């Protein structure tokens, strides 16, 4: 029975096992109790952080491979298939290439900004992993304000873009950086408003609480099924999030026909690799948030009996959303700047403002209805 | 509550070392053969005139439109700050509170309508 | 955790931040840098507001006056920055400078 | 002193020092873009200070609004007005020495004042629940009038800024 419960919930059980062993070990060594709490906290925290920091780059590498494969199939090509079976080792080859490429720093760059920009681009993305829930009870930190924290981390991307654009000493980078910043701030508003709808439905900003609220109908009570507000919010979220991370069809800052490579024109070697890493990890984070708040995250049938299923559900839904973004890339041409800005401010923002008020009124009527039912019964 | 944020702080340290590690690795492996041509600014084949740092030759005068969008963004970001606590308190709330937030959102919608009517949202 | 840090620490930090900010506001030549100094001062004020809320309120959950006022200060800071920077941009467009020593039309 | 006290005070002192260094850089650095980046660092440090005061909503708002919006606004303004700035080699105006004198006197006065007042050394009550719903409730009851005035203020600021900035 014990082994069965371990198999059904491997990661949380392993965590608890290590936690209890460490605590009892320290107790037998005669460490004072307040130090035990601190040491256990630090060691367990470091273990969780290390696991996540190993999983994140692997995820990123295979999302790049997935993108190349899927887009190749859409364009009637095969995609990478030389390195390893089906090109499965291609990301590793890419990584070695990034490591051995020369890092060219052009003359006249602003040293501080040019060096720090890729680092600043990666930091908020990695921190976002802290509050994502990968399975039942499988989140590093359960913040009361988890979703707002994720939005705040997303908004920090603008600073990195500015630094790269300013620091590169290049007109293309400068224009690309300004455009990217304007685009990110324009689409951040609809994104935050779209996230607000599940928050209102669940009555909490904690990501875990929002997921738990979707447990109805055998784990299928997802917020996207709350017609009509759920689908509207999801649609707006998907578009705004795609624009927020500068993916096709909203990849104007990197429009190669006008701006060479946008704000990372002057980056090469591992520094470019870090921008690449940040972009794909952002894609994962954005899809993971979407899967968690609209599709129930780890919520699904039989997840209460076999918690390990939750991991499968979560990654299945997340990769489905990533696939939708790749589908965008394979089929939709790039927008013009004026179309992009108009779409954000004149379509998405008014729609979301209306949806928020509509949701509030609906919730109020629902509560009023329940109370009058109670009154009839009593 | 503070333990959770201590963990977030741990994540921040990890997040800072995470991009530094590959940079250091790459520093050990990569070739270092800079020359003048490699280090020149990318310019689509045109000869670049002034290579001095902070040279005005790379300067672009941006349109004020960028700033207009930034103002709109700031205003709506502030709105977000007030809407989130309201949304969390929604399940213990009377109809009056919804009307109050309706007024708040309506006033800011007026701002959007103003910008729209004055053609400030036009990029061209 | 919070009980081990005396209130004086926060107040000293806020005072230092306020003074640094006001030096920036008084001594910089660039108008945008002056505005940054003012933002620093507002941040220092916010630290004080929150510290007094946390240490002084009888029930910090039911009476969140400090947080609410800090929110209003942030709002004001945003409005001030938007209008102030708009003024600076307008001046830059007409006079081609953001140096406050050269912006002296009203002086004579 | 027990372990948690040492750690808590050490964390506070480290965060406060970093914040103050960033603040000094904001004020002293010649390049306005770098000053703005240092300002972002200061905002981040202040957010950490809010977290130590258990005001988590305010900390996240600090990152969301100050770093995500106000710093971006400042950076946009720096980009829009940079054209001739490089010629400036001095970052301070003529009155900087007087300002430094007055400010250091002010700081000394404030510091002595702070040390002399017998403040409460520990907070009154522990925070026992999630603050955010209570915050929402208070915004819509006790502070209803300022809350509605804020929207009017934002509208006025926006219209004013538009009129000033438009060509």
Checking if the pLDDT of D88 tops 70, the result is no
Q: What is the pLDDT of residue C45?
A: 93
Same domain, A140 and A48: no
Q: Answer whether D61 sits within 8 Å of C29, measured CB to CB.
A: no
Give the nearest partner residue to B14 out of A53, A109, A356, using CB atoms: A53
CA distance A152 to A162: 17
Average the pLDDT over B94-108 and give the result. Answer: 85
C-alpha–C-alpha distance, residues A141 and A255, integer Å: 38
Looking at the structure, do residues A126 and A254 belong to the same domain, yes or no? yes
* Confidence (pTM): 0.90
B69 → chain D, closest CA residue: D73
Task: Give me the domain span that covers residue B90.
Answer: 2-117
Q: Does D88 touch chain B (CB under 8 A)?
A: no
ipTM above 0.95, yes or no: no
pLDDT of residue A267: 84
Give the minimum alpha-carbon distance from D64 to chain C in angstroms, rounded to a whole number.
11
**Whether A62 and A141 share a structural domain:** no
- Residue A249 structure tokens: 């069809």
Domain span at residue D164? 127-167
Q: Do D63 and A35 touch (CB under 8 A)?
A: no
- Whether A134 is covered by a domain: the verdict is yes
Q: Do chains D and A touch (3 or more CB pairs under 8 A)?
A: yes
Are the beta carbons of C101 and C29 closer than 8 angstroms? yes
Q: What is the mean pLDDT of residues D115-124?
A: 74
Which DSSP string corresponds to C49-84? HHHHHHHH-SSTTT--HHHHHHHHHHHHHHHHHHHH
Close Cβ partners of D150 (under 8 Å, ≥ 6 residues apart):
B78, B82, B104, C72, C75
How many structural domains does chain B have?
A: 1
Yes or no, beta carbons of C74 and B81 under 8 Å apart? yes
Residue D7 counted as domain residue:
yes
What is the count of structural domains for chain A?
Answer: 2
Does residue D115 fall inside a structural domain? no
Q: Which residues of chain B lie closer than 8 angstroms to D73, CB-CB?
A: 67, 70-71, 74
- Helices and strands of chain D, counted as H and E runs: 7, 0
The total domain count for chain D is 2
Q: Can you tell me the distance from the alpha carbon of C100 to that of D9, in angstroms, rounded to the nearest whole number?
A: 41
- Note whether B77 contacts C: Cβ–Cβ < 8 A: yes
Please give the Cα distance from B123 to B110 (Å, whole number): 20
- Looking at the fold, whether A11 and A151 belong to one and the same domain comes out as no
CA dist A273 and A280 (Å) reads: 11
Q: Is A41 in the same domain as A145?
A: no
Query: Quick one: average pLDDT of C62-69?
Result: 86
Tokens found for residue A16: 């608890």
What pLDDT score does A290 carry?
Answer: 92
Residue B71's φ and ψ, nearest 5 degrees, are: -65, -45
Q: Cis peptide before A327, with omega less than 30 degrees from 0?
A: no
The pLDDT score that the predictor gives to residue C74 is 92
Q: Phi/psi class of residue A108: alpha, beta or left (left: φ > 0; alpha: ψ in -120 to 50)?
A: left
Q: Is residue D167 part of a domain?
A: yes
Whole-number pLDDT of residue D40: 93
Measured distance CA(B39)–CA(B35) in Å, rounded = 6
> Structural domain of residue A6, as residue ranges?
1-80
Cis previous bond, A249, omega within 30: yes
What number of helices (H) and strands (E) belong to chain C? 3, 0
For CA atoms C31, C72, D127, C50, the dihedral sign is positive
Domain boundary (D65, D88, D111) is at D88
Question: CA angle, A328 as apex, A327 and A334 as ends, to 5°?
Answer: 145
Q: Give the pLDDT confidence of D53-87 residue by residue, as tens digits.
A: 888 899 999 999 999 889 999 998 888 887 654 55
C17 — pLDDT class (breaks 50, 70, 90): very high
The number of distinct structural domains making up chain C is 1
CA distance A257 to D132: 47
Share of chain B above pLDDT 70, in %: 82
The answer to whether B14 and A122 are in contact (CB under 8 A) is: no
Q: pLDDT for A279-293, tens place per residue?
A: 899 999 999 999 999
- State the average pLDDT over residues C30-45: 90
Contacts of D46 in chain A (CB under 8 A): none
Distance from CA of A155 to the nearest CA of D (A): 5
pLDDT value of position D114:
86
Same domain, D140 and D79: no
CATH number of domain containing C85: 1.10.287.3510
Can you tell me whether residue D3 is helix, strand or coil? helix
Question: Domain check: are A21 and A170 in the same one?
Answer: no
pLDDT exceeds cutoff 70 at D48: yes
CA distance A352 to B66: 23
Segments in chain A below pLDDT 70: 1, 253, 255-257, 377-378
The pLDDT of residue D122 is: 66
User: CB contact, 8 Å: B69 with chain C?
Assistant: no
Taking only the tens place, the pLDDT of each residue in B3-57 is 778 888 888 888 888 888 888 888 888 777 777 777 777 776 666 665 555 545 5
How high is the pLDDT of residue A334?
A: 81
Is residue A95 assigned to a domain?
A: no
């Amino acid at each position: 029975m014990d082994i069965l419960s371990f198999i059904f919930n491997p990661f949380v059980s392993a965590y608890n096992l290590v936690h209890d062993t460490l605590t009892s070990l320290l107790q037998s060594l005669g460490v004072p109790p307040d130090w035990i709490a601190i040491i256990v906290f630090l060691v367990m925290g470091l273990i969780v952080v290390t696991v996540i920091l190993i999983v994140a780059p692997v995820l990123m590498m295979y999302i790049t491979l997935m993108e190349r494969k899927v887009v190749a199939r859409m364009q009637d090509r095969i995609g990478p298939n030389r390195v390893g079976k089906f090109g499965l080792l291609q990301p590793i080859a890419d990584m070695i290439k990034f490591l051995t490429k020369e890092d060219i720093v052009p003359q006249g760059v602003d040293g501080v900004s040019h060096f720090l920009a890729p680092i600043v681009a990666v930091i908020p993305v990695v921190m976002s992993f802290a509050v994502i829930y990968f399975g039942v009870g499988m989140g590093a930190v359960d913040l009361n304000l988890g979703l707002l924290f994720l939005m705040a981390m997303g908004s920090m991307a603008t600073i990195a873009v500015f630094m790269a654009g300013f620091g590169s000493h290049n007109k293309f980078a400068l224009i690309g950086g300004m455009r990217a910043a304007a685009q990110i701030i324009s689409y951040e508003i609809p994104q935050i408003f779209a996230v607000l709808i599940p928050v209102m439905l669940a009555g909490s900003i904690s990501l875990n609480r929002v997921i738990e609220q979707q447990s109805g109908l055998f784990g299928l009570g997802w917020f996207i099924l709350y017609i009509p507000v759920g689908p509207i919010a999801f649609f707006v979220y998907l578009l705004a999030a795609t624009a927020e991370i500068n993916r096709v069809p909203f990849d104007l800052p990197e429009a190669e026909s006008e701006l060479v490579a946008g704000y990372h024109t002057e980056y090469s070697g591992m520094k470019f690799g870090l921008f690449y890493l940040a972009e794909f990890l952002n894609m994962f984070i954005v899809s993971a948030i979407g899967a968690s708040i609209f599709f129930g995250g780890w919520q699904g049938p039989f997840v209460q009996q076999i918690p390990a299923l939750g991991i499968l559900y979560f990654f299945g839904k997340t990769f489905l959303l990533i696939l939708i973004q790749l589908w965008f890339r394979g089929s939709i041409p790039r927008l013009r700047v004026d179309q992009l800005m108009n779409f954000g401010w004149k379509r998405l923002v008014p729609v979301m403002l209306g949806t928020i008020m509509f949701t509030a009124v609906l919730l109020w009527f629902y509560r009023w209805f329940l109370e009058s039912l109670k009154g009839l019964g009593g | 509550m503070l333990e959770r944020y201590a963990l977030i702080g741990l994540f921040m340290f990890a997040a800072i070392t995470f991009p530094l590690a590959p940079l250091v690795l790459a520093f050990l492996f990569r070739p270092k053969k800079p020359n003048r041509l490699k280090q020149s600014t990318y310019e689509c084949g045109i000869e670049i005139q002034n290579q001095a740092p902070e040279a005005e030759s790379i300067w672009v005068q941006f349109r004020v439109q960028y700033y207009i969008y930034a103002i709109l963004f700031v205003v709506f970001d502030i709105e977000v700050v007030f809407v989130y606590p309201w949304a969390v308190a929604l399940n213990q709330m009377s109809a009056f509170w919804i009307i109050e937030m309706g007024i708040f959102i309506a006033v800011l919608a007026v701002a959007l309508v103003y910008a729209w009517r004055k053609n400030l949202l036009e990029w061209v | 955790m919070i009980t081990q840090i005396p209130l004086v620490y926060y107040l000293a930090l806020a005072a230092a931040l306020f003074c640094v900010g006001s030096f920036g506001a008084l001594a910089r030549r660039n108008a945008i840098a002056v505005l940054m100094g003012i933002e620093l001062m507002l941040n220092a004020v916010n630290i004080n507001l929150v510290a007094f809320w946390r240490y002084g309120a009888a029930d910090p959950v039911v009476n969140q006056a400090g947080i609410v006022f800090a929110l209003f200060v942030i709002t004001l800071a945003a409005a001030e920055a938007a209008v102030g920077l708009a003024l600076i941009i307008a001046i830059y467009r007409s006079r081609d400078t953001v140096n406050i020593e050269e912006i002296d039309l009203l002086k004579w | 002193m027990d372990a948690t006290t040492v750690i808590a005070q050490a964390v506070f002192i480290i965060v406060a020092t970093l914040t103050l260094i960033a603040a000094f850089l904001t004020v002293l650095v010649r390049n306005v873009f770098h000053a703005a980046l240092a300002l972002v660092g200061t905002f981040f440090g202040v957010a950490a200070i809010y977290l130590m005061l258990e005001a988590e909503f305010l900390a996240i708002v600090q990152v969301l609004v100050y770093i995500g919006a106000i710093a971006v606004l400042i950076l946009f303004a720096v980009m829009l007005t940079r054209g001739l700035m490089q010629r400036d080699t001095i970052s301070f105006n003529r009155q900087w020495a007087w300002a430094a004198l007055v400010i250091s006197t002010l700081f000394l006065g404030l510091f002595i004042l702070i040390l002399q007042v017998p403040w409460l050394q520990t907070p009154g009550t522990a925070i026992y629940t999630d603050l955010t719903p209570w915050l929402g409730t208070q915004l819509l009851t006790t502070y209803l009038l300022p809350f509605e005035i804020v929207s009017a203020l934002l509208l006025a600021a926006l219209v004013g800024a538009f009129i000033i900035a438009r060509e």
